[in-house]
Amino acid sequence: MAIIKTKAEIAILREGGHILAEAMQHLSTAVRPGVTTNDLDKMFVEFITARGATASFLGYHGYAKSICTSINEEVVHGIPSDRMLQEGDIIGVDIGIRYKKFCTDMARTFAVGKISMPAQHLIDVTRNSLDEAIPVLRAGNTIGDIGATIQQCVEAEKCSIVRVLVGHGVGQSVHEEPQVPNYGKRGKGRVLEVGMVLAVEPMVNIGSSKVEFDEDDGWTVRTADRSLSAHFEDTIAILEDGPEILTR
């Protein structure tokens, strides 16, 4: 069951979303060759702590860091380390906070210096698929409408949707019901309601949709063919007059 939020709860989520969006903007200024993913993790913690928030990923099912940093063929859940960013890399940065007991979640994929045209195209396609899907988050539409919109945008550009990982409800917990796949059929699935808060997050590969889970670290997901992957995510509230992006 989806947890329907009250107006007061959405107001708190809105505050947290603004802090999270500011944190992402802060991190974006540091993405450049020579910076380590541990550097980004530390920057994030310092930024949100000063604003009264905590990292919702830290300790989640044993996760040891505060953000996820996924480089090139890494789809999601890359663990920050002393790995340095290199010219031409792309990096997916996935962040979440708990603020006044409520969680918000977002992700962006950034270019590290000058990147290839195919890499830029992948980033553009992934971001655009999220932007196209957000207006669909209206009461009376369905989960399938969201997924179908993302799938159509991505596949029209000859890229592929990661199907084994999905978006989700968010608020009292990092992950709540319902699941929000990035593919689907219009009119199918759960009907959207006022008060739902969803994290919509297309994960898009330039090659095959198949992925592999790292058996050593237990977290990192990579493309099976080692092609590039990109990830964008926002936390969105469904209001009476339509969707509100809480993390922008």
What tokens appear for 163 in the block? 């199907």
For the residues of 5-74, what is the DSSP string, one character each?
PPHHHHHHHHHHHHHHHHHHHHHHTT-STT-BHHHHHHHHHHHHHTTT-EESSTTGGG--SSSEEEETTE
Residue whose tokens read 């509100």? 244
Residue whose tokens read 């396609």? 125
User: Rounded to whole angstroms, how far apart are CA atoms 233 and 109?
Assistant: 10
User: Rounded to whole angstroms, how far apart are CA atoms 220 and 69?
Assistant: 9
The distance of Cα 123 from the centroid of its chain, to the nearest Å, equals 13
**pLDDT tens sequence across 43-92:** 999 999 999 999 999 999 999 999 999 999 999 999 999 999 999 999 99
**How many distinct helices (H) and strands (E) make up the chain?**
4, 15
The residue type of 55 is A
Q: Which residues of 34-50 are buried (b: 16+ CB within 10 A; e: fewer)?
A: ebebbbbbebbbebbee
Domain ranges (residues) in the chain? 7-245
Q: Which distant-in-sequence residues (6+ apart) come within 8 Å of 71 by Cβ? A: 37, 78, 83, 85, 89, 90, 91, 92
Q: What is the pTM of this model?
A: 0.96
Question: Which parts of 167-217 are beta strand (E)?
Answer: 167-169, 176-180, 197-200, 203-205, 211-213
User: Rounded to whole angstroms, how far apart are CA atoms 108 and 11?
Assistant: 23
User: Rounded to whole angstroms, how far apart are CA atoms 177 and 92?
Assistant: 24
CB-CB contact of 236 with 198 (8 Å): yes
Residue 222 has pLDDT above 80, yes or no: yes
**pLDDT tens sequence across 180-201:** 999 999 999 999 999 999 999 9
Residue 215 has pLDDT above 80, yes or no: yes
Upstream peptide bond of 118 is cis (omega within 30 degrees of 0)? no
Q: Provide, rounded to the nearest whole percent, the portion of the chain with pLDDT above 70.
A: 100
What dihedral angle (degrees, nearest 10) is formed by the CA atoms of 117, 120, 125, 127?
-170
- Cα Rg for the chain, rounded, in angstroms? 17
**How long is the chain?**
248
The residue type of 190 is R
User: Rounded to whole angstroms, how far apart are CA atoms 201 and 109?
Assistant: 12
User: Rounded to whole angstroms, how far apart are CA atoms 97 and 53?
Assistant: 6
**pLDDT tens sequence across 103-159:** 999 999 999 999 999 999 999 999 999 999 999 999 999 999 999 999 999 999 999
**pLDDT tens sequence across 167-184:** 999 999 999 999 999 999
What tokens appear for 161 in the block? 């949707």
Q: Considering the domain 7-245 in this protein, what is its CATH number?
A: 3.90.230.10
Residue 2 has pLDDT above 90, yes or no: no
pLDDT for the residue numbered 1: 74
